[in-house]
Structure formats: structure tokens, C-alpha cells
Structure 1
């Protein structure tokens, strides 16, 4: 079984689930999961986790993301993007570059965003887009999202191209809709490209056809990021063989059971503050056994003077192997 993460470029027309299904066929294994839905009309970075790396899915979904979007003023649609049914069209002749820039920049920071009806969020066990397709609209609670930065790349009224860096749970099409509402013309999202998820960048992503070619050439593992490399910014420790069974079973570990691991991961960027004889409360580390197998992520608890398991990545099958 392949264990690791592949940085996939999701093309237009595919759902995120389509990508997973096609990748299962390419690599020949079932245990695969994606790290955050992209709409069918959107393109860009979609990290996909294989094997034990599926335990990373929720962790990557929580990461900040960067998008490049094209906002179109003058049209309001039911889906908040250009693929939806147009609900209203308005004149955009009174818009100015100054008004647009001022409105967009006002969204930098925290804001309350109402999720769109055409989304995968669930209300009473049913996805919102399913209700929307039935012609139903339900009340949605606004959620706090964080817009860390918006870089306006180009303004050619009625279109604006902008780069948005935001927190998890942010809908870029809703951001476009809200900007259009504030300026009185309405707006929808015309294009969307996700350029970054955590450490995964657009320039390094591969299309499914490229991945299939690498698989046929026997080079697939060259593009699979090992699970532990996802945490290369954390200090790496090894547990001594006498106490390794404690770690295998997810038990807490005393600091004296551990020693510095010789680091072999590329692009190691360990934080100096982590490399101390006396660890700080809350410090997270990677734990390995003396055979170099990655066990999991542990967090130091000063009160009990021990490291407690945060996420296990070693399974019993690997130990038996």
C-alpha cells in the first residue's frame, strides 16, 4: 500500500470525489481521501492522501488556503458563481476603481459569512445543495471566517482578478457575492484557481494524466510526500527500544525515554525553540522507533512531565511486517 500525499491539480469538470475515484484506479488501492472540496468549475491544488496518510485529511482541511479568483460585477446567481441561474442583472457603469478597491480591502480581517445554499454543509442531516435543488431555502447561521490578505491583481470593470488568502471554511464565491451586494451591483465568481493549501503549491501540482504516466513508468513514488515530511518543522525524537511498546499502544512517554533522532527529511526547518533539553509545555514533536518507523505526533505536557499522543500514524500491520 502507498502511504503519503500527492499534490494533484484538479481540473475543471471534475468533482473532488471524481479525482479520488480516478486516482484509486490509477494506483490500484482503495484507501484514498481528499483534503477539502473544490467545486467542479474550480481548478487547482487538491492534496490527496493515500493509505495511512488519510489520517492527515482533517488536519489539511483545517489549513489556510490561497485562491486566485475572477469576480464579475452586475450578475447575481443562485449558486453565487457563473454556472448558476442568473437571478438579477444590474448596470455597472457607476463603479469606479477607487470604490471597488475600498470595498474589497474592507473585507481583510475577520468577517461573518453566511454559507451559500449550494454547498455541501448539512442541515438536519441533509446537504444544503440537495435542498437547493428541491427549490428549498433554509436559514443558515453566519460563520466567522478570516481573510488574511487580498491582493488585487487587475481591475477591468466589470471584472476584478484578486488573490485571496483565507482560513478554512471560507467560500470565495460568497465573498464575491458579498462584495457585489455592498457595491449595489451584485456580483458572482467567474473563475477560481486554488494556488496553495498549506505547503502544497500550484506550481508543483500534477494532473491525473501526468500521475498515470508516472505510474506506468514506475516513478509514482517520486511524487508521493511521506507522511512524516508533512511535519518536518517539528523536532524529531526516537523512543528507546525498551519503551517502544508504550508508543506503539499510544501511551504517554517520559522525556527520559526519548533521544534526538538523526534527521533525514529534506527541507528540514526545525524551530530553534524546540531544540531544548527541557521541553516547553505544548511543544509538538515527531516520534519514531529505533528502526526509523514514524509512530506519530506527540505533545509535551509540563504538569505531568510527559509527551502525550496527539495523532498515531503507525499501524499494527506495519509492526507485523
Structure 2
């Protein structure tokens, strides 16, 4: 079954998108490979039918974002959902000051998730407790931020670009021509940073906005977020949700960032059963890929499984 790359619209949860896809594709077996908040848009990868088995191998893919961080106001949700809990005047930061702060967040680190998140402690969702006026003790998570690039500084969100395009290196930036994006309504006239981010799995851009503001000495919130890449899939490949029923979808193999082995049916069966090849000549790939996950495709090129190949 195919994989679909959807441009998630604003004001829908990832679960909402899955629900609509189920109706449009007339199947219950739909899953996604990484949640996007309602006030975020961009790449949401949907796996359909047997492809749902691949979600576990794609959830940890790195992702790229265009993030708009508004300075001078903090919210309980850490984004533009609001309400504003704290305000403060914002100094006239130079681009060099902002870049210096951003560079300090690049690399492996510990990040405290938002209270308004789907994380569970003791079987209770954090957002459920937050909506009831409480807080959970959410432990910091180990994450990696690969790149943070300052693309612009603006007097407020309305002055930030709304049209973006990818460069030859896959990094997106504001452009006179390209893809038009929608952003949530601004909570006020707050100075805003436009940042391109490449992050590992589990990274919360809302938490990053909070932490960047703290490093600058001011409250901050995530005013807008566009995911431009998830794993192998770019925003330029995405279809609108309403047209997913007419889209052809992409083959399973295009979704897997794994080495691919074409195997005869007998060898593929043995690998599915966890057996080592009896003939060492058949197992030469296992020597090269000791301990790695590999995608094994039967001779017809259709039936696919993922195994761990050992030397």
C-alpha cells in the first residue's frame, strides 16, 4: 500500500488528518510518522494499509522546520494558542547576538517538553492535567538539534514573509516565488525571529522558542511553524489533504531510509523467520551490514519486510 505526503493545514490535529484520510481513502488502516500541533502546518507523512508497519522505522527520522519565534510574550501552551501570561520589553538585539544564542542550542542536549503535550506520566496525559490547571513533572528528554539558522528579524509577525522556497541544499527560506504558507493570528505586535531548524526526533519547537527567549532574557512563544521535511519527504512533494483521494501515493520503498536487498523468495522467507543463510555466499550482505536494519524485497519487487542482518 502507498505512502502519502500531506501538507497539514492549520487548526487540525494530526489525528484529525488521519481521520479525514481514512474517509477519503476508505480504509481504517492509516497512521502518521510524527505529530504536528494544530497551529503548525507542513509535511505529515501518512502510511496506509500494510504500510502502517513502516511507521516504527520512520518516527525517528530527522525533520526540518521554518519556525517563527515571537519575543516579549509567553503563553502556557508555548505557542500562539495563548493566552499571554507574561510580557516584557524586548531590547534591540543584533543579528550577531541572536546567532550566538542559536548556536548554543546546536548539538545533543536535554529539553523539557511543554506541559501542553501528549506525553504521559503515570498513564495521565500532560495536556489533560494542564487544561485542568495543574502541572506534571515532565522529565527532560535527550534530543539533538543539528542546525539553527537565523533567516530574518522582523518588527512583528505581519512583516515576516509568507512565501518560501527550498534552496539547492534543501534548506527553505523566504522567496518572492514559491509556496504560500498560512500562519496563526498573531497575539500582538511582538518582534519576531524567522529560524530554519533541522532537528532530531522528539524535539519540541515550542520548547525551543521558550528556551531561546530565556537565553535572550525575554519571554517568547512559537508564533508559527512549518515543517518542510520529514525523513526523505519534502514539502514540495506534498499534496493537499482534500486531494489525497486522487493522489497516487508513493511506494513503500521510497519511505524507508534503509539499505535495500533484493532477495530470492527462499532467502527472504529465511530472513523473515530470523534464520541465517546456510550458504555464506547468500549472506555476504549480512557481513557488510552487521547489526543494521535492512529492507528485504522479494524477487517480484513487491513484498517487503524489514529485518536486522547480522554477520
Partner of 2:274: 251
Partner of 1:306: none
Deviates more, 1:102-111 or 1:158-167: 102-111
**Alpha-carbon contact 1:108-1:150 (below 8 Å) kept:** yes
Q: Indicate the SS of the match to 2:263.
A: strand
Q: Deviations along 1:8-41, whole A, 9 cap, x unmatched?
A: 1100011101111101111111111111111111
Q: CA deviation at 1:234?
A: 1.6
- Whole-Å Cα distance in 1 between the matches of residues 301 and 281 of structure 2? 13
Tell me which of 274, 279, 289 is aligned to 2:298: 289
Rate the CA distance shift 1:211–1:235 in 2: closer, same or farther, 3 A: closer
Partner of 1:166: 199
Q: How many residues in Structure 1 have an aligned counterpart in Structure 2?
A: 276
Deviates more, 1:50-59 or 1:224-233: 224-233
Q: Indicate the SS of the match to 1:23.
A: helix
Larger Rg: 1
Q: Indicate the SS of the match to 2:239.
A: coil
Question: Structure 2 regions of 5+ residues with no counterpart?
Answer: 156-190
Rate the CA distance shift 1:100–1:244 in 2: closer, same or farther, 3 A: closer
Q: Indicate the SS of the match to 1:52.
A: helix
Q: CA deviation at 1:183?
A: 1.4
**Alpha-carbon contact 2:58-2:256 (below 8 Å) kept:** no
Tell me which of 111, 114, 124 is aligned to 2:112: 114
Q: CA deviation at 1:232?
A: 7.0
Q: Find out whether 1:195 has 2:228 as its counterpart.
A: yes
- Whole-Å Cα distance in 1 between the matches of residues 280 and 50 of structure 2? 25
Q: Deviations along 1:86-143, whole A, 9 cap, x unmatched?
A: 1110001343333222111211112211011000000110110000000001221111
Tell me which of 55, 77, 94 is aligned to 1:79: 77
- Whole-Å Cα distance in 2 between the matches of residues 156 and 295 of structure 1? 49
- Whole-Å Cα distance in 2 between the matches of residues 19 and 191 of structure 1? 19
Q: Find out whether 1:225 has 2:258 as its counterpart.
A: no
Q: Deviations along 1:150-206, whole A, 9 cap, x unmatched?
A: 111111251110111001110101101111112111110100000000001001101
- Whole-Å Cα distance in 1 between the matches of residues 294 and 41 of structure 2? 34
What are the residue-to-residue correspondences of 1:302-317 with 2, within 5 Å?
302=311
Question: Structure 1 regions of 5+ residues with no counterpart?
Answer: 215-219, 261-274, 303-321
Partner of 2:68: 70
Tell me which of 27, 52, 55 is aligned to 1:54: 52
Partner of 2:210: 177
Partner of 1:264: none
Larger relative contact order (Cα-Cα within 8 Å, sequence gap ≥ 6): 2
- Whole-Å Cα distance in 1 between the matches of residues 58 and 307 of structure 2? 18
Partner of 2:259: 234
Rate the CA distance shift 1:255–1:173 in 2: closer, same or farther, 3 A: farther
- Whole-Å Cα distance in 1 between the matches of residues 150 and 239 of structure 2? 27
Q: CA deviation at 1:229?
A: 3.0
Partner of 1:308: none
**Alpha-carbon contact 2:258-2:294 (below 8 Å) kept:** no
Q: Deviations along 1:68-99, whole A, 9 cap, x unmatched?
A: 01000000111111212111100013433332
**Alpha-carbon contact 1:238-1:259 (below 8 Å) kept:** no
TM-score when normalising by structure 1: 0.79
What are the residue-to-residue correspondences of 1:11-160 with 2, within 5 Å?
11-157=9-155, 158-160=191-193
Rate the CA distance shift 1:259–1:92 in 2: closer, same or farther, 3 A: same
**Alpha-carbon contact 2:30-2:48 (below 8 Å) kept:** yes
